[in-house]
Amino acid sequence: MHRIITIGREFGSGGRELGRRLAETLKIAYYDHEIIAEIARRTSLSEQYIQSVSERAPVFSFPIHTGRSFYPAPNPAFDQSLSVYREQSNILREMAEKSDCVIVGRCADYVLKDYHPFRIFVCANMESKMQRCRENAPEDEKLTDRELRQMIQSVDKRRAGYYSFYTGQNWGDRLNVDICINTSRMVIKEVVPAFARLFD
């Protein structure tokens, strides 16, 4: 069975960088945006649309009811979110079958649980996440501190909701991962060689 490493990460915690560097150090495949591109190819939905439903729990519109009867109304947006999730899960399993790899986000720890992945969760305090976002932001981004904080909270809330919707578990719960890394005081490229040793 291949060596699968899954990475859950708070927005701005540097989890993606940690995953990419870990894959480089271990010389194994790294999957992140590639998954979106592959879903787009298979479903003929646009990458932009898939991105918009990706890592977001689907919104369920309640059915119309008249008097005492319920008529399940068609809910194409809800159904399509589930289809994207299903397709994504198929792709994750194919990737896990193909070779050793690092996979970022997408409930991969849960979807691939039969492959016994090594599950990493990456978090950081708000100050550190804001600083990292500032460093990586395009030059023309003009968010105030308050707006940036709200944006980070909103993305993390969405990811937690997505994870909980599809897995029934709490996102980042210490018993659902093997190690949880708080990057607030770390320089990621300096710690990756140590974590890579876990897979020697």
CB of 199 to a second copy, least distance (A): 8
Nearest to a second copy of 103, 123 (CB atom): 123
In angstroms, give the least distance from the CB of 113 to a second copy. Answer: 12
- Report in angstroms how near the CB of residue 155 gets to a second copy at its nearest: 17
Site residues for a second copy per CB under 8 A: 116, 121, 123-125, 172, 174-175, 177-182, 184-186, 191, 193-198, 200
Q: Which residues 6+ apart lie within 8 Å of 56 measured at CB?
A: 81, 158, 161, 162
Query: What angle is formed at CA 183 by the lines to CA 9 and CA 144, rounded to 5 degrees?
Result: 75
Nearer to a second copy, 64 or 179 (CB): 179
Q: Of 84 and 122, which CB lies nearer to a second copy in the complex structure? A: 122
CB of 9 to a second copy, least distance (A): 12
- CA-based nearest residue to 32, from 45, 11, 16, 48: 16
Residue 10 — left, alpha, or beta (φ > 0 → left; ψ -120 to 50 → alpha)?
Answer: beta
Instruction: For a second copy, give the closer residue by CB, 41 or 174.
Output: 174
Closer to a second copy by CB, 47 or 178: give it: 178
Q: Report in angstroms how near the CB of residue 13 gets to a second copy at its nearest.
A: 11
For the record, the structure tokens of 109 come out as 């720890």
SS (H, E, C) 47-100: HHHHHHHCCCCCCCCCCCEECCEECCCCCHHHHHHHHHHHHHHHHHHHHHHHCC
